[in-house]
Chains A and B, each alone.
Chain A
Amino acid sequence: MEKPLEIRWHGRGGQGVVTASRILADALLREGKYFQAFPEYGPERMGAPVKAYNRVSSTPIRIHSGVTNPEMVVVVDPTLLGAVDVLEGLAENGTVVANFPGTPADLRNLLHFPSGTVVVVDASRISREILGRVVVNTPILGALCRVLPEVKLENVLEAVKAQFGEKLRAEVVEKNLACLRRAYEEAQIG
């Protein structure tokens, strides 16, 4: 059994990080991978910091404990940067993917994270432009795709369609997909 890749999501209650981790799981299913997607459950409060997790592997995953040392963290809300310790347990060569309006160098300075990989995308702006409101969980999946070779963009797009296809109007789903594609293209890695 290989050691699974572990991802931790940071967001605020209501921003859809649990949904994002589930969409990623669905995309991994389409890739034929093994995966887990699970939230950190506590009292559910709109706006409070929340976490969710993924494990990714090409062999069955048996471990069922929490994730303490992820290889990757994804921060969907820029106001969490500096407010919670998003680097907790992350290895020096780990990856941070963040919804952030600045450059990768700016984020490195903000987080005091000189090593590893940093991916930034202004998901809030992208969603405001395309959807007319701030939706951060789907666009960030586009940026994540850039540094997660286990999953291809088209499978993430399919997973988003499957997640929202029945709940949202076709044009809204299309706009969500457009956000995701734009985030994929605009993401800066540094």
Chain B
Amino acid sequence: MSKVLGLNGNAAAAHAMRQINPHVVAAYPITPQTDCVERFAEFVSEGLVDTEFVTVESEHSALSACIGAAAAGGRVMTATSSQGLALMWEMLYIAASMRLPIVMMVVNRALSGNINIHCDHSDTMGARDAGWIQLFSENAQEVYDNMIQAVRIAEDMRVRLPVMVTQDGFIISHAVERVELLDDDAVKNFVGPYRPLYPLLDVRNPVTYGPLDLFDYYFEHKRSEIEAIDNCLPVIEEVGKEFGKLSGRSYGLLEEYRLEDAEYTVVALGSTCGTAKEAVDRLRDRGKKVGLLKIRCFRPFPKDEVIRALAPRKGVAVLDRSVVFGGFGGPVFTEIRSALYDLPSRPLVIDFYYGLGGRDVYVEDIEKAFARIEEVVRAGRVEKHIDYLGLRE
């Protein structure tokens, strides 16, 4: 029997962690993630989990402890935000290249400077090339569901990679909504017992992690890491379907909202997708053929599925909640536009930077993005590839 509670995104993540009952959690508090780790620490002190909770002096140490514990052979989780994720940067690559199935909840928050505690995606986008799987969540329910699926995905013997589950800072992390929790036993059965692979604590079968790896084999090891992350798309889909059978909520790599006959599409990640669905409904009521493509899995980038979803459209407006300074558009735009390049006939694509540092995004902003892409298609060419939504100029 599942039960419905009123929880914010942080609490939803903490409950998922309680039900997953990992061997080790090492974390350092940072706004807006703190609330999640505090709640989990309460579960530890109340004896509701068996987890060894390691309080550390920084996020660099948090992820280092996670890497050690995962290499030792344990199921390991952590959580962070913003500067915390930035401080983990060098360890992110090490966790992925050691193929350690760590699950990390990231509450998306802008990077300094200037100091800002509110949502944008610059923290996780800064980690997009580190070899971690990245799943974005639209609401607190998806945070909970993604956390549980992340364990299965990370630990699948065809994957064995770390996974980041993200949620938008404050917008989701601190907003109380209805969240349906599965039974503790249902989650326990779904994630299953942990199966260690080459654990350091198996002293009869000694192994080496993280050795010096120079021009002789480093390149081949990177090649195998590339293949590992590319190969996990079918596993993410499989786990999403199986989770659907358990919960009634199925997950794919993408979510297509009213896209079947859409001429114009917005592409977005995270909480903005909910607001964009409202915009789509309003414009559909006015007879506009519009839809939304929500990217749930950003890493690995589901290129083929994106091409399938976007190829028949006339115009695509990408919403980027983080900046690539000096680049040709935001991280989502560059992926989308590049994926569509080989099509014999392809939609026109424009990019909007929006919502940096927690700048609010309204239904009207997304309606503006649709209006602009419609104009671009009518003109038949893109004059301005990158523009802004909700910016004062």
Which residues of A sit under 8 angstroms from B4, Cβ to Cβ?
Answer: 29
**Counting CB contacts under 8 A, is B183 at the interface?**
no
Given contacts A29-B4, A64-B274, contact A36 B363 (CB under 8 A): no
CB-based contact B175/A36 at 8 Å? yes
**Counting CB contacts under 8 A, is B225 at the interface?**
no
CB-based contact A64/B271 at 8 Å? yes
CB-based contact A35/B278 at 8 Å? no
**Counting CB contacts under 8 A, is A84 at the interface?**
no
Complex alpha-carbon distance, A66 and B358, angstroms: 11
From A37-45, A70-78, A105-113, A138-146, the one touching the partner chain is A37-45
Given contacts A29-B6, A63-B274, contact A34 B178 (CB under 8 A): yes
Which residues of B sit under 8 angstroms from A68, Cβ to Cβ?
Answer: 362
Within 8 A of A (CB), among B171-188: 171-172, 174-178
**Counting CB contacts under 8 A, is A62 at the interface?**
yes
CB-based contact B281/A1 at 8 Å? yes
CB-based contact A39/B278 at 8 Å? no
Within 8 A of B (CB), among A138-164: none
Complex alpha-carbon distance, A66 and B363, angstroms: 10
Residue with the highest number of chain A CB atoms closer than 10 Å, among B32, B117, B274? B274
**Counting CB contacts under 8 A, is B5 at the interface?**
yes
CB-based contact B275/A37 at 8 Å? no
Given contacts A25-B6, A64-B139, A65-B361, contact A38 B176 (CB under 8 A): yes
CB-based contact B6/A65 at 8 Å? no
Which residues of B sit under 8 angstroms from A34, Cβ to Cβ?
Answer: 177-178
Which residues of B sit under 8 angstroms from A38, Cβ to Cβ?
Answer: 8, 170-171, 174-176
CB-based contact B277/A35 at 8 Å? no
Complex alpha-carbon distance, A35 and B176, angstroms: 8
**Counting CB contacts under 8 A, is A6 at the interface?**
no
Q: How far is the CB of B359 from chain A (nearest CB, A)?
A: 10
Complex alpha-carbon distance, A22 and B35, angstroms: 15
- Nearest to A62 among chain B residues (CB) is B274
Complex alpha-carbon distance, A75 and B272, angstroms: 29
Complex alpha-carbon distance, A38 and B174, angstroms: 6
Contact pick for A63, options B8, B170, B278, CB 8 Å: B278
Which residues of B sit under 8 angstroms from A61, Cβ to Cβ?
Answer: 177
The 5 closest A-B pairs by CB, nearest first: A38-B175, A62-B274, A37-B176, A64-B271, A29-B6
Q: List 23 A-B contacts (CB under 8 A).
A: A21-B176, A22-B6, A25-B6, A28-B6, A29-B178, A34-B177, A35-B176, A36-B176, A36-B177, A38-B171, A38-B174, A38-B175, A39-B174, A41-B117, A60-B178, A62-B275, A63-B278, A63-B363, A64-B171, A64-B272, A64-B274, A65-B361, A65-B363
